[in-house]
Chain A
Amino acid sequence: MKTLYTVSEVSTMINNGETLLLSGDERALTNLPKGKWIAGTTPYFMSEEKGGIFTHDEIQVVKLPSMITDFTMKTYSVNELKNIPKDYLPNGFSYIIIPAFSDALINFAKDCSSYEGLFDRPLIGWVSGVDLAEVEKSKAKVIDGMTGEITDSKAVVMHLNLPADKYAKINKINLFKQGNGDSITFNSPGFEISECKVNGIDTNFYDYISSHIDTKLPLVADYMGAMINVSIQDIDTVSKKIILFAPVFPGIEYKIAKPVADYEKEFAAELSKANISPLFSCNCILNYHYAHLEGKTTGHIVGPMTFGEIAYMLLNQTMVYVTLEDK
């Protein structure tokens, strides 16, 4: 199914009154008319028609089905993020985009699980990004298409309501599992870590990771059978810290992931087991790069390749999706 469109084609959809979830390069998105759309920036996509693709020109489009007529849209500053669950609609789900490297993302990632009512309705979304060659000079953005507000510091959320006989269900496909190695724990939450405990013994995390860990492999925590990744962003040789794409938390045991031999093949096997047709899905830019997905497909699963995936909480190196189900 075609998902990538030109600015002109998307403009026509907007002017026809369609409600759209969009992802694209900032230069393309800022040429769209106001309307019923929400967007985040990224030039990396997974498509069915072209496989993994990098493009500044095309916009990826999810058209919401006609059964969804009731929605609200709002941007949230750092101090307002905790109010997101208060705006959940009675029988709906919420779609969130947060700019990469923003204080809003840091706050959300560290505190979201304590927002009152966070898990009461499905919350799905992603972290917007930029061309990796332009990280030093560009900023990730999100856009409220109704108002035209474009921001690099706030989250944007579309709260959608569903007909009474439907509900939204969020799930994920994560090929990474905990390896059989050391148990790693942390005394405090954070993205920038210098100390940890390895098998209960105080250990310098910088030395531990930089000495013998493949940094393409995430730390994996087991949340009651749901594998939750924390990916390694950088080894900071100046501060002697490990910089992470998502925070680690005290009280949770992490292990380095088992390697994934063939991402495309193993993803296809997992997808076949899941047997899903998502309304929306997204996957991680790290999977795109580490698994060399440019030009390859992930079955019929399409969506932006993102700087973080959100299924209630911030996830890394994971494909997340939402499906609409009959009650």
Chain B
Amino acid sequence: MIPEKNDSRWKEIVTTATVFPLHGLATKMLLMRVRTMIKLDPSPQKVDEAIKITYDFFSKNEETLKNDLAILFRKN
């Protein structure tokens, strides 16, 4: 099970500048997209939107992205 959307680690994942050693091309592109979105507009609304996008992505791909999930949540 992936952490709940209100888990504070989601916010860290989308706002940190840390480059995780991710495997999936989609994961890399999606995280780059949401982090760039926040870089251009760091409002709480954009952060919430970034968390929702990221959470939804992992929710729908939990089985095939388990390696990336392990990397993201072990390091946070």
Query: A residues near B, CB below 8 A?
Result: 113-114, 117, 119-120, 122, 167, 169-172, 223-226, 249-252, 311-313, 327
19 additional contacts, CB 8 Å, given A117-B56, A224-B31, A224-B32?
A: A113-B29, A114-B33, A117-B60, A119-B26, A119-B57, A120-B57, A120-B60, A167-B63, A167-B64, A223-B29, A223-B32, A224-B22, A225-B28, A226-B25, A250-B40, A252-B32, A252-B36, A311-B25, A327-B64
Determine the distance from Cα of A119 to Cα of B53 in the docked complex, in whole angstroms. Answer: 10
Q: Mark B20-58, 1 if CB is under 8 A from A, else 0.
A: 111001111111110011011000000000000000110
**13 A-B residue pairings within 8 Å (CB atoms):** A119-B26, A120-B56, A170-B25, A170-B26, A223-B28, A223-B32, A224-B22, A224-B27, A224-B28, A224-B32, A226-B28, A249-B36, A252-B32
Determine the distance from Cα of A313 to Cα of B36 in the docked complex, in whole angstroms. Answer: 15
Determine the distance from Cα of A215 to Cα of B30 in the docked complex, in whole angstroms. Answer: 29
Q: Which residues of chain B come closer than 8 Å to A311, judged between CB atoms?
A: 25
Measured as residues with beta carbon below 8 angstroms from the partner, the interface class of chain B is 20 to 34
Q: Which residues of chain B come closer than 8 Å to A251, judged between CB atoms?
A: 36-37, 39-40
Most A C-beta atoms less than 10 A away, residue of B26, B28, B37, B57:
B26
Q: A224 to B36, Cβ gap below 8 A?
A: no
Q: B39 to A312, Cβ gap below 8 A?
A: no
Q: B20 to A224, Cβ gap below 8 A?
A: yes
Q: Which residues of chain A come closer than 8 Å to B39, judged between CB atoms?
A: 251
Q: B40 to A312, Cβ gap below 8 A?
A: no
Q: Which residues of chain B come closer than 8 Å to A225, judged between CB atoms?
A: 19, 21-22, 28
Most B C-beta atoms less than 10 A away, residue of A119, A171, A172, A312:
A119
Q: Which residues of chain A come closer than 8 Å to B20, judged between CB atoms?
A: 224
Determine the distance from Cα of A223 to Cα of B25 in the docked complex, in whole angstroms. Answer: 9
Distance in Å: Cβ of A169 to nearest Cβ of chain B: 8
Distance in Å: Cβ of B74 to nearest Cβ of chain A: 16
Distance in Å: Cβ of A138 to nearest Cβ of chain B: 32
Determine the distance from Cα of A114 to Cα of B46 in the docked complex, in whole angstroms. Answer: 13
Q: Which residues of chain A come closer than 8 Å to B60, judged between CB atoms?
A: 117, 120
Classify the interface of chain B: helix, strand, loop or mixed. Answer: helix
Query: B residues near A, CB below 8 A?
Result: 19-22, 25-33, 36-37, 39-40, 56-57, 60-61, 63-64
Q: Which residues of chain B come closer than 8 Å to A167, judged between CB atoms?
A: 63-64
Q: Which residues of chain B come closer than 8 Å to A169, judged between CB atoms?
A: 64
Determine the distance from Cα of A113 to Cα of B57 in the docked complex, in whole angstroms. Answer: 13
Query: What residue in chain A is nearest B36 (Cβ atoms)?
Result: A251
Determine the distance from Cα of A250 to Cα of B28 in the docked complex, in whole angstroms. Answer: 18
Distance in Å: Cβ of B27 to nearest Cβ of chain A: 8
Determine the distance from Cα of A167 to Cα of B22 in the docked complex, in whole angstroms. Answer: 18
Query: What residue in chain A is nearest B57 (Cβ atoms)?
Result: A119
Q: Which residues of chain A come closer than 8 Å to B28, judged between CB atoms?
A: 223-226
Query: What residue in chain A is nearest B64 (Cβ atoms)?
Result: A167
Query: What residue in chain A is nearest B41 (Cβ atoms)?
Result: A251
Q: Which residues of chain B come closer than 8 Å to A327, judged between CB atoms?
A: 63-64
Q: Which residues of chain A come closer than 8 Å to B56, judged between CB atoms?
A: 117, 120
Most A C-beta atoms less than 10 A away, residue of B25, B27, B28, B61:
B25
Determine the distance from Cα of A252 to Cα of B19 in the docked complex, in whole angstroms. Answer: 14
Distance in Å: Cβ of A44 to nearest Cβ of chain B: 25
Q: Which 9 pairs from chain A and chain B are nearest by CB?
A: A224-B28, A251-B36, A223-B32, A119-B26, A226-B28, A119-B30, A251-B39, A113-B33, A251-B40
Determine the distance from Cα of A325 to Cα of B27 in the docked complex, in whole angstroms. Answer: 17
Query: What residue in chain A is nearest B21 (Cβ atoms)?
Result: A225
Distance in Å: Cβ of B61 to nearest Cβ of chain A: 7
